[in-house]
Amino acid sequence: MLQANRTRIPDLLGYDAQAKLVALDRAYGIVEFDLEGTIVLANELFCSFVGYSKEALIGAPHTMLLTPADRAQHNGFWQEVLAGRLESGEFKRIGKGGKEVWIHASYTPITDPQGRLLGVIKLALDITQSRNEQAAQQSRLSALYRSQAVIEFSLDGTVLDANSNYCQLTGYERHELIGKPHRLLCEPSFADSPHYQQFWETLRRGELVSGRFRRLGKQGHPFWIQASYNPVLDGDGVVRKVIKYAYDITHNVKLEIIASDQRAILDIMLTAHHSFLLDRDLACACDKIFNPLLRVTGSEFGFIGIVHQEEACPVLHVPSITNLSWDEQTRQWYELQRQRGGLVFRDLDNLFGHVITHNTQVCTNEPTQHVASRGMPTGHPPLTSFLGIPIRYQDSVIGMIGLANRPGGFDDELIALLTPLVTTLGTLIHARTLEDERSLIENTLRFNAEHDFLTGLPNRSSFFEHANVLFSHLEDESSDLPTSSLALLDIDHFKQINDEYGHLVGDLVLKELAHLLQGQFRDIDIIARIGGEEFIVLLKGATRELAVKIMDRCREQVAQHRFEHDGQAICFTISVGVAAFSRQFHSIDEWIHDADTRLYRSKHAGRNRVS
């Protein structure tokens, strides 16, 4: 403790002064200097600040506690102290071992009653910890300002300040933001909603608002931020302003959207695969994926088309398309085309046809300016953007996807997103084509195996396959099928036709007769060529009496017919034998034999008749 009875200032210290000095000694680090700046006294508290003992301090110059920079300026500093012009402040001092010490100190000149300077006394508080904490806090704030976008608002949402990061994020200059309302950065639909009012009411209550937000920058470009809106309170707990800390997550959100879209495209691909494999119906598969495709691409309307060839020219068959009918006439036309399995476009000299005829993508956000544009039909909805992607297999166009009117237009990112789907559709369309070709070949082979090559009628083998089934049912006594009849016929004097006109004409006569006969019978009846000029007819459910009438009508039709060949009229007749089913027949051959017997009866009776 400082001694109050020191000889240097005995007249200055009464009892009250001594008590006050004791109190100061406990609260402050106290050090006394002579006029040259040499330490002549230091209390225990000051010694603890700098880490020196009293013995080490007393007699040492003031400069021992200064930084090198302050030492160089000490003379000027000390003159200011002696002149009484430097009262107090925060000072950085160097303690024992080079330890940095921050003090809040006052340098006060000591004078005698006559006003003569006796020395200088310094009262100091150690503020090293608070100064370091303040520096750390400031460092953290500086780091926030360097790393994040920061903007300040008044309680009515007016921008008070914004750092460079926020300006860079939005595209605005700082002076363009200050004084503007927060709603400038929001989408109109949000800024005009009750949610926006609730947003600011929450902040004015002093509650934190944080989360992911979509905002608009200069010229309306959208961006995404992860942000916290922090109400700032004064010492009385009253909200004075709001500070927002934000960082740009636009890239991450775009990646999330792309991943979500990719999952949606994958679902569409799986739906197409499943539908095609399950139903074997490509048009149905296209229909099932069409609306999801519009949703994931954000398109207003579009279509999926498949290319066919007609007389070596490409034709676009569209099984899936948005209904864009704009009046009753187009609506009826659209419905009729859908009932027929889809729309067919043969005129491809237009914007979407360019995709097929040139085997190229068409991506335009100014459709009317495209070289292939031919305008739109009167009444058609306006086209603001169009994307046409060819569906290929081994570089050949086998279909296309057409999409239109996407907000913001079409771009390469969307094209890349759709590439796997386009490839899948190419594979499915090709598989469907192969399936159709295989089915056509199988049907052709089956038809050829079951039909006569010349006349196109069922052949002997096919006839017996069906007739034996009917015969088995008819001979079953428990069967309730009505009786049936069988007719055998051939061309009268057919050899003479061959001899006179040649076998080529004879073949034409056979084909002509087949054509005439096909128009005389019901769908349930079976007519076949069983060899040479012989034909056989199975009239299901017909009694012999009815069968004779039917066959006689056929005979008359043939007799009245004139076959023209090379300007010559060739006439011919037929003879017919009709036999009704009888359970006395043990086989179909016996039934045919009965009809054959009746056929020869007609021939022996003069031909051109039914027996």
Positions marked catalytic = 533
Beta-sheet strand order (sheet of 149-153): 159-162, 149-153, 239-248, 222-233, 209-216
Find how far residue 565's CA is from the centre of its chain.
66
Task: Give the DSSP H/E element, type plus range, for residue 230.
Answer: strand 222-233
Kindly give, in sequence order, each residue whose CB lies less than 8 Å from that of residue 85, ignoring residues fewer than 6 positions away: none
**What tokens were used for 269?**
């691909």
Distances from the Cα of 223 to the Cα of 215, 255, 311, angstroms: 5, 13, 53
Cα separation of 282 and 106, whole Å? 93
**Alpha-carbon span 213 to 226, nearest angstrom:** 6
Nearest to 45 by CA among 64, 63, 25, 65: 25
Cβ count within 10 A of residue 554: 23
Contact between 301 and 405 under an 8 Å Cβ cutoff? The reply is: yes
DSSP letter at 235?
T
Bridge partners of 117, per DSSP, are: 111
Q: Is 342 exposed, middle or buried (0-12, 13-18, 19+ CB in 10 A)?
A: buried
Nearest Cα to 45, choosing from 65, 55, 31? 31
Q: For the purposes of burial, counting CB atoms within 10 Å of the CB of 550, is it exposed (0-12), middle (13-18) or buried (19 or more)? A: buried
CA-CA distance, 272 to 284, in Å (whole number)?
A: 9
For residues 602 and 611, the answer to whether their CB atoms sit within 8 Å is yes
Cβ-proximal residues to 435 (8 Å cutoff; 6+ apart), any chain: 280
Alpha-carbon distance of 203 to 233, in angstroms, equals 11
With contact defined as beta carbons under 8 Å apart, do 490 and 535 qualify?
Answer: yes
Angle of CA points 356, 360, 364, to nearest 5°: 105
Rounded Cα–Cα distance for residues 311 and 309 (Å): 6
DSSP letter at 482 equals P
Other beta carbons within 10 Å of 51: 13
Cβ atoms 108, 87 nearer than 8 A: yes
Rounded distance between C-alpha atoms, residue 531 and residue 380, angstroms: 61
Residue 371: DSSP 8-state: T
CA distance 580 to 574: 20
DSSP helix/strand/coil, 509: helix
CA angle 471, 477, 481 (to 5 degrees): 60
Strand partners, 500: none
Phi, psi of 285 (to 5 degrees): -65, -40
**Please, what's the b/e burial string for 589-610 (b: 16 or more CB within 10 A of its CB; e: otherwise)?**
eebbebbbebbeebbeeeebbb
Cβ atoms of residues 431 and 463 within 8 Å:
no
